[in-house]
Chain A
Amino acid sequence: DAGVIQSPRHEVTEMGQEVTLRCKPISGHDYLFWYRQTMMRGLELLIYFNNNVPIDDSGMPEDRFSAKMPNASFSTLKIQPSEPRDSAVYFCASSLGQGRIWTEAFFGQGTRLTVV
């Protein structure tokens, strides 16, 4: 398996524009996570899905952020409208759940977002 694949790797956009980040999890994994990493706040969990269903979106900073998982092999994180403070590295990760014991999460290479 190629691992978790994120696109694009880098995105530069102007304030107010819509940004869509994409993620393809590892085949067979039933959990998908979106994280944001900044120097100030470290790694923050934004939202996670189980079997394509959003389970916890309490980490989504505000209504400008939305995430979808239309099928088991694809997820998007959308920011509309984008703001400079959204500049960060966004990671997608996937995991295989086994009851209450989680296997490790596998991370993509991340998308570095710069909003100017």
Chain B
Amino acid sequence: AQSVTQLDSHVSVSEGTPVLLRCNYSSSYSPSLFWYVQHPNKGLQLLLKYTSAATLVKGINGFEAEFKKSETSFHLTKPSAHMSDAAEYFCVVSEYNDMRFGAGTRLTVKP
């Protein structure tokens, strides 16, 4: 069965600096991978997805993630953080009839 590990429970950056949220996964086959964002008191919104096409995936709000099979990683990055990026981020791995969520990474953006 697949699993996903978000390596940091909390990341704090200054506005305008790069963001890196780390995600490692394990999977028996070729999984689909997703990043979701959850703002306070809101539902989860899809940021981006990887489904065996290009390994560098671009999402909304300037985020992107790179699928690295050799490292079993799917890290989320953004060149320059904005205050509105402060939220909880979830990495998700999916294959067949099973979707697993990471524990989440809380991103804080300081002025």
Chain A residues close to B by CB (< 8 Å) = 4, 33, 42-43, 45, 48, 50, 55-56, 91, 93, 100-102, 104-110, 112
Contact = CB atoms under 8 A, between A and B. Distances in A.
Contact of B99 (A4, A55, A102): A102
A42 B95 contact: no
A108 B99 contact: no
Given A42-B101, A43-B101, 14 more contacts: A4-B43, A43-B90, A43-B104, A45-B99, A45-B101, A91-B43, A100-B95, A101-B32, A104-B46, A105-B99, A106-B46, A107-B36, A110-B42, A110-B43
B80 interface: no
B104 to A, nearest CB: 6
Contacts of B96: 100
Interface residues of B, number: 21
A105 B43 CA distance: 12
Which of B36, B44, B101: most chain A CB closer than 10 A? B44
A104 B101 contact: no
B14 interface: no
Nearest to B45: A107
Nearest to A97: B97
Interface of B: 32, 34, 36, 41-46, 49, 51-52, 90, 94-97, 99, 101, 103-104
Which of B43, B95, B104: most chain A CB closer than 10 A? B43
Contacts of B94: 102
Nearest to A110: B43
Nearest to B92: A105
Contacts of A56: 97
